[in-house]
Amino acid sequence: MAGWESYTMPRYLKIATDLAARIASGEFQEGTRLKGRSTLATEYNVSPETIRRAVSILSDKNVVKIVLGSGIVILSRENAIKFVKSFKDDERVADLRQQLAQLMEKRRSVDDEILSLTKQIIDMYRYKRSDLITPVEISLPPDSPVIGKSIGELEIWHNTGATIIGVVQQKDIILSPGPYYEFCESDRVLIVGDENVIERFNAFIHSLP
């Protein structure tokens, strides 16, 4: 959904909806004639053609009826109400879609930032210590006592000295999972730490202290 383009409603549709709302409110009564196209065109400051298109929509929805020689006759207040409700529902869906697109864009931005920060962390370790260049991948045993528990709850760094930079789940990788991530069976954990971190982390995931 990248590159969301804002949707601008056609002028004739806005007018059709406004006229339907006025009929629904009782401003225009069933069985009476609606104002002429020229009068409506002046009132809405548009061309008669725009009014014609707006009225055609209302005619298709059986809100009004175009009678030759009699003009535009109000046909159904009930249908006017249905038309307005349908329009509002469609408008709400469009608004939700726009919000979703914006959230997805923010999510992509956050994912990119996490990836960038993770690379920076690895680069910092690379320059600081020769034994921290590459993350180590450790698979959780199926009966590990850490399964179902969160990183924060387990105090991983405090208990093992390991910094978790990612978790691999089948074909997916979760970068910088954070303290609320709960370990799952078959997780493969990417860690960095000092030269003894692998031994300490393995001991921890097999048997909690």
Q: Which residue has tokens 């529902």?
A: 89
132 and 125 Cβ atoms separated by less than 8 Å: yes
**How far apart are the C-alpha atoms of 40 and 23, rounded to whole Å?**
14
Give the per-residue pLDDT at 68.
80
Give the per-residue pLDDT at 1.
36
The residues, any chain, with a CB within 8 Å of residue 101's CB and separated by 6 or more, are 1, 4
**How far apart are the C-alpha atoms of 163 and 116, rounded to whole Å?**
17
**How far apart are the C-alpha atoms of 165 and 63, rounded to whole Å?**
62
Give the per-residue pLDDT at 155.
93
Query: Could you tell me whether strands 188-192 and 163-169 are parallel, antiparallel, or unpaired per DSSP bridges?
Result: antiparallel
Report which of 71, 67, 66, 82 is spatially closest to residue 24, judged by C-alpha positions.
Answer: 82
Give the per-residue pLDDT at 149.
92
Q: How many CB atoms lie within 10 A of CB 83?
A: 24
pTM of the model: 0.40
Task: Tell me whether residue 147 is exposed, middle or buried, using C-beta atoms within 10 angstroms of its C-beta: 0 to 12, 13 to 18, 19 or more.
Answer: middle
Per-residue pLDDT of the chain (209 residues; tens, 9 = 90+): 333 344 467 888 888 888 988 888 888 888 888 888 888 888 889 998 999 999 998 998 899 998 887 788 999 989 888 888 877 666 665 666 677 777 778 878 777 777 777 777 666 655 554 454 578 889 999 999 999 999 999 999 999 989 998 899 877 888 888 899 999 988 999 998 877 888 999 999 998 76
Give the per-residue pLDDT at 141.
92
Give the per-residue pLDDT at 69.
73
Q: Which two tokens stand for residue 50?
A: 């725009």
